[in-house]
A and B are shown apart, each in its own frame.
Chain A
Amino acid sequence: MPRYGMVIDLDRCTGCRACMAACKVENNTPEGSFWMYVFRFEEGEYPNTRIWFMPRPCMHCDNAPCAKVCPVGARYKREDGIVATDWDRCIGCRYCEVACPYSVNYFNWRDPEENQYVNWKDPELEALSGGVIPPYKNPDLDRPCGPEKRHIAGASHVEGVIEKCTFCVHRVEAGKTTACAANCPEHAIIFGDLDDPASEPSQKLQRKSSFRLLEEAGTHPRVQYVGGTPHGHGWRQIQPAGKRS
């Protein structure tokens, strides 16, 4: 059984946020929720400033605080390393969200269909689209995942339920890579089997020194960073992404 992980090369990342867009398109996440998020940091005072970037997917921790606290086992760790959320079982208590040190969880605060970037129920649009199935209802994506056959990914989101980066489990199970890795123009995001020493991410880890975020929290993230350093005191976030106003 492969154990998936991700290696992100900060020397390559240009902060273009294509991965964020790719994730949105692939997973049809509602407005304001960013399963993949790219920090843009700035340090120092003009003219001695420096900028760097850091993509932040879910860390899929091996010792996941979110899975530990879930009262109903909706958040769970799969054997292949992926931390998944069962959208049919989650009761929406958001305990996983407060437990996560990386703040990667997003709650469906309202009906996700009303929270899409385009209102597909708009009569004008319906006249044009001829009533096609909107992308956020793509039936191809809506199938149970893994041997456990649970509703942990796909297109139709559920109101009042927590969700987060799934490592594109529906793509991975079909033998593809994640949407963010596939769309990164700089090949900064590399996804693969970390147990296989010949895999691309393992090779990368052998060549370059790596670090993981908030190592001191003891969460054992499966996402590792190479090139660059962890953010320190002086870094401040610039150009944060958020909801359209």
Chain B
Amino acid sequence: MQAKLERLPFGVGQLTPKYLTFVMGMLVLLAIGLLSYGRQLSEGHIITGLRDIGSMGGATWGLYIVFLIYFVGVSFAGITIAAMIRLLDVHYLKPISRIAELITVTALILAGLCILPDLGQPLRGITNLFRYARPQSPFFGTFTLVVSGYFFASLVYLYLASRPDAATCAQVPSRLQGLHRLWAAGYRGTPAEQHRRKVASFWLAIAILPLLVTAHSTLGFVFGLQVGRPGWHSALQAPGFVVMAGVSGVGLVILVAALFRRLYGAETRLDDRIFRWLGNLLMVLVLAYLYFMVVEWLTGAYEGHQHELKLTKALLGGDFASTYWLAVICLVVPLAILFGQWVRNQFSLTQLVVAGALVNVAAIAKRYLLVVPSQTHGTLLPYGTGSYSPTSVEYAVVLGVIALGCLIFAIFVKVFPVIDLTDGAE
């Protein structure tokens, strides 16, 4: 057990004007999002940019699905890092694990919320998805493995890992003492308790790792198993989802961790070693994803199948070229940065943060390029080319969902230390 603290660490329980302004801003965004969703509920999906594929020349899945798969992808990070700390014994990473786990839990909540505005009958969705669940549908995996299993496992993991810190905080007199005492639930840090907790989280980590691959793969199968959509039907889809999930997730962990390091002056807890390790992991993942992209591109272009070719042309030089090349740049530039840092053994947090931000732009762009072009430019019957541009309603709802994620983070950091207090070596 750690030495007694004088006061709660990392600004827990202290509200500053800056913090309140941030929360107010997010609340406003959330309110706008809710209002827009209300409008969509009363007027119907006609106020979105979505339309039927085919004779109506539209895309029937749009921004909501793009962000659904983006958020599920982002959730990769927490559990990977938590499991790696446990299984590979990289103890110096421990201070970052709670940030990462919190990203997982928050992102999965947001992903679940992104499904709702996409549904034409959201209330039926909540009941029927359970009442009439069909394991044959690739969506089944999204709802069971991802939204339920993965979410629950992450939540338990987050809780298990946070109990010692809750016990430490519970010794500090504050308004939150009661909550921390409840959170610790009698944890005292005796050797027997520590051992039990270690064993429990070890086995949970072992259970979570295959869940991670299968959960992200099922989301890939939602697209990869569809023979009717050029650009989707590919065996590369599932592994591609796992890798892209890693790219965006690790990128976001870097961003958020750097933010908290700055906010709380936690240079000693979140030291450069952690960020270097994250940077190297990100480099490997980006490299793997670029390889997948080249394979995908070559298959589409070389094969010369008319529908695949039309889609590849639209991506590389047609209607989606600007987004496509933005995504490529946002992957290649971070790769150059990260490779430069690794090969010269230099480190700059600013550069790493830039890389983390860029790969997330690339992730959103790539998700968009996966979802939309195959619908507007991928009809197998000669309907003619369609188009899709999101309306303000869709943007507002998505921004509202993101604002909610920021709020979850903002509330968490004020009731609990977001950076692990105990050392990995215990």
Contact = CB atoms under 8 A, between A and B. Distances in A.
B226 interface: yes
B186 interface: no
A174 interface: no
A213 interface: yes
Interface string B113-149: 0010011111011001101111011111001000000
Contacts of A120: none
A99 B56 contact: no
A96 to B, nearest CB: 10
Interface residues of B, number: 48
A91 B136 contact: no
Contacts of B229: 98-99, 101
Contacts of A233: 306
B139 A103 contact: no
B45 A95 contact: no
Given A73-B132, A99-B226, A99-B228, A110 B45 contact: yes
A33 B265 CA distance: 59
A160 B382 contact: no
B51 A95 contact: no
A160 B269 CA distance: 51
A95 B139 contact: yes
B383 A107 contact: no
Contacts of B54: 37, 102-104
A219 B381 CA distance: 14
Contacts of A106: 52, 56
A224 B35 CA distance: 48
Nearest to B228: A101
B55 A90 contact: no
A73 B382 contact: no
A93 to B, nearest CB: 6
A74 B124 CA distance: 11
B136 A109 contact: no
Nearest to B380: A101
A236 B128 CA distance: 42
Contacts, number: 162
Interface in A220-235: 231, 233, 235
Given A231-B382, A237-B382, A97 B129 contact: no
Contacts of A211: none
A33 B52 contact: yes
Contacts of A214: 380-381
A202 interface: no
Interface stretch (A63-71, A127-135, A188-196): A63-71
A98 B375 contact: yes
A166 interface: no
A86 B56 CA distance: 23
A100 interface: yes
Contacts of A37: 54-55
A85 interface: no
B227 interface: yes
Question: Main SS of the interface on chain B?
Answer: loop
A161 interface: yes
A70 to B, nearest CB: 6
Contacts of A242: 55-57
A237 B228 contact: no
Contacts of B124: 89-92
A105 B52 contact: yes
B227 A218 contact: yes
B120 A160 contact: yes
A160 B134 contact: no
B138 A235 contact: no
Contact of B383 (A92, A103, A161): A103
Nearest to A115: B46
A159 interface: yes
Interface in B226-248: 226-229
B237 to A, nearest CB: 14
Q: Which of B43, B56, B133, B225 gathers the greatest number of chain A CB atoms within 10 Å?
A: B56
B317 interface: no
Contacts of A98: 53, 60-61, 226, 228-229, 375
A240 interface: yes
Nearest to A159: B44
Contacts of B97: none
B52 A97 contact: yes
Interface of A: 32-34, 37, 39, 41, 56, 65, 68-74, 89-95, 97-111, 159-162, 213-214, 217-219, 231, 233, 235-237, 240-243
Return the 8 tightest CB-CB contacts between A and B, nearest first.
A92-B120, A160-B120, A103-B54, A101-B228, A110-B44, A110-B46, A71-B139, A72-B132
Interface of B: 43-46, 50-57, 60-61, 115, 118-122, 124-125, 128-129, 131-134, 136-140, 143, 222, 225-229, 306, 375, 379-384
Given A71-B134, A219-B228, A237-B384, 20 more contacts: A41-B382, A69-B139, A69-B226, A71-B129, A71-B137, A72-B131, A91-B120, A94-B60, A98-B61, A98-B228, A99-B229, A101-B229, A101-B381, A103-B380, A105-B53, A110-B45, A160-B44, A237-B383, A240-B384, A242-B56
30 contacts: A34-B55, A65-B227, A69-B225, A72-B132, A73-B134, A74-B128, A89-B132, A90-B121, A91-B129, A93-B139, A95-B222, A97-B52, A98-B228, A98-B229, A101-B229, A101-B380, A102-B54, A102-B380, A105-B60, A109-B50, A109-B51, A110-B44, A111-B44, A159-B120, A160-B44, A214-B381, A235-B382, A236-B382, A240-B383, A242-B57
